[in-house]
Amino acid sequence: MSPARDPRAVAAIVASALFMQNLDASVVATALPAMARDLAVDPVHLSVAITSYLVALCVFIPVSGWVADRYGARRVFMLAIVVFTAASALVGLSQGLASLVAARIVQGLGGAMMVPVGRLLLLRRVRKDELVVAMTWLTMPALLGPVFGPPVGGLLTDAVSWRAVFWLNVPVGLLGLVLVWLFIPDVEPQDPGPLDARGLTLWGLALALLMAGLETVGRPIAPGWFAPAMLVLGTLCAVMAVRHSRRALRPAVDLSLLRLPSFGVSMGSGSVFRIGASTVPFLLPLKLQIVFGLSASASGLVTFATSLGAFAMKPLVRPALKRWGFRRVLIVNGALAAFGVAICAAFTPAWPLAAIFLVLALGGLTRALQFTSLATLSYADVPQEKLGPATAMSGTAQQLGQALGVVLGSLSLESALWVTGGATPGAREFAIAFLVAGAVVLASIPSAVRLPRDIGSGVSGHRG
């Protein structure tokens, strides 16, 4: 079977883009303390370097499906890789917080087109019975980013500079561009109809304003009126966006997809789960470096365990879903994942690093099973003509969940400092933040409980 016809090969090539994006996300968290020292910014406040990128993703992802259908998914995918790679180089050249955030926003524009459009290239080439295999191959290489990100990012930060962490994307992006050009044929452009500019504007404003408000609430980085004003305006835009999407003939965000139980529950439960789980990559490197006193290299080697566990789970996803089905996996494994997040609150310098490594690996294993199960279930019943809007909505929900996870971790630390009266976050403050994150992960389970027992059986092969 030629690479263009083999879903595993197509998935692995598309995953080069996910590898680059996930590598970038994991190394940023490890390098935050060094970036903060170099730019003279509080490490907790520098979460804006992560959220600005994720917000840009959320704003631009909704248009990705329309652009891919209009101009061809392969062409858009290759252009997105170029933009993301060039922006990564600019991040490494940043001399201040403003230029850093600006470059991260451009990165978000590239990533917004890169990941969902790449997923669309794959989904339009696989049958329903190949979906679990294809999604597993898509996410396995992508997980190499988080696997190598923390240790490589830590080593580069200590040995060279935090800037070198972003320059890693340049060779990876060039390699991905060549592989796509050589082995993936284009998907025929389609007629997506007129662009829903009003819907895109409303959704983009809603997401950007809400995230700006959440990111600045209770912080001295903006005037006191700024956060409440942004939250109020963002809420109004969100209400208007929902009303518009329900009435428009071809909305940019197709809310009718949420009527599919498999897609709707995956979006709801998956978003809540991702918010809680996404606090870990943000909080853990900070705790290891601030509380434990570890270097960036050492903390990267410890947090590497989370991604190692996630990577080890991938070959087991299909057998697990076939044996127990989506519903049982999401319920039982969701509870285990919540415990894996909450137990990070108990970590102290008295713990042997080997024990922390093992606990993190097991936690990464459960979170990977949950993420892959939710991602696969979300496309189980989506018709071909709706794949473009579905990938755009799913991609937006995933990135929004990650952004809100960083905001949740940051706000939890700030709130804990207010409660304890501390000046800088210590063991108590980080413990509170991890317990809050674990509770949020646990809150994702009730949605899964309402699923039918045979949900997604045509994809998983589960027969009760």
More confident residue, 104 or 22: 104
Q: What is the mean pLDDT of residues 83-97?
A: 89
Lowest-confidence segment of 57-61, 193-197, 219-223, 317-321 by average pLDDT:
219-223
Check: CB of residue 154 under 8 Å from CB of residue 300.
yes
pLDDT tens-place string over residues 189-241: 666 677 888 988 898 889 888 888 887 776 666 777 888 999 999 999 999 99
| 3 state SS of 223 | coil
Q: Report the alpha-carbon distance of residue 84 to residue 80 in Å, rounded.
A: 6
Q: pLDDT tens across 328-374, in order?
A: 999 999 999 999 999 999 999 999 989 999 999 999 999 989 988 88
Phi, psi dihedrals of residue 337, rounded to the nearest 5°: -65, -40
Return the closest-CA partner of residue 269 out of 371, 152, 179.
Answer: 371
Average pLDDT, the chain: 82
Residue-wise pLDDT for 9-43, tens only, equals 677 777 777 777 766 766 777 777 888 888 887 77
In the predicted structure, residue 293 carries a pLDDT above the cut 60: yes
Q: And the tokens for 69?
A: 């259908």
Nearest-angstrom CA–CA distance, 167 and 430: 31
User: CB neighbours of 30 closer than 8 A, spacing ≥ 6?
Assistant: 149, 150, 153, 154, 157, 165, 285, 296, 299, 300, 303
pLDDT beyond 80 at 463: no
Name residue, tokens 């459009």: 117
Task: Please indicate whether residue 103 or residue 388 has the higher confidence score (pLDDT).
Answer: 103
pTM equals 0.75
Tens of pLDDT, residue by residue over 233-256, are 999 999 999 999 888 877 878 888
CA pair distance 12, 29, nearest whole angstrom: 25
Is 435 a residue whose pLDDT tops 90?
A: yes
Percent of the chain at pLDDT > 70 equals 87
Tell me, what's the pLDDT at 329? 92
| Tens of pLDDT, residues 377-386 | 888 788 877 7
